[in-house]
Amino acid sequence: MTSKDTAISVTGLKKSYGDNHVLKGVSFSVKRGTMLALLGPNGAGKTTMVRILSTLLRHDAGKVSIEGYDISKDSDKVRGVIGLTGQSASVDELLTGRENLVMMGRLYRLTKASATARYQLASRRENQAQNRDQDRGA
């Protein structure tokens, strides 16, 4: 497979949490236009791998590129070409609407304060839109 055909390239990827070595030199590539499933038991490193690929977590060693962008050097460009969703609903039913939206902002590397401010701005705009539609009559 040529680099032109490769959507995801992972070489020698390592990640540890203290003495717990979760990813131990993982290497694989994914051809553009195909799907990939990560399967394994709890604790196998699936979530860690997804968090690294989506630029939410830094790896300790190795090289990862997505659509030709190095995730360490071009994380903003990587986030521009990927999408990420959870294994179930796109919202966490245990969180409020505000908490879900702030969490999504955090996934895009906004600070908590910035994500909260954007939520508040969107909320004010929504309230204004709803108020325009309310009957102001007698």
Residue 93 has a pLDDT of 79
pTM: 0.65
More confident position, 2 or 44:
44
pLDDT of residue 138 exceeding 50, the answer is no
9-51 pLDDT, tens digit each:
999 999 999 999 999 999 999 999 898 889 999 999 999 999 9
CATH topology of domain 3-81: Rossmann fold (3.40.50)
What are 86-133's pLDDT values in tens digits?
666 567 778 888 888 888 888 777 888 988 898 898 888 887 766 666
Tens digit of each residue's pLDDT (9 = 90 or more) over 18-28: 999 999 999 99
SS3 letters across the chain: CCHHHEEEEEEEEEEEECCEEEEEEEEEEEECCCCCCCCCCCCCCHHHHHHHHCCCCCCCEEEEEECCEECCCCHHHHHHHCCCCCCCCCCCCCCCHHHHHHHHHHHCCCCHHHHHHHHHHHHHHHHHHHHHHCCCCC
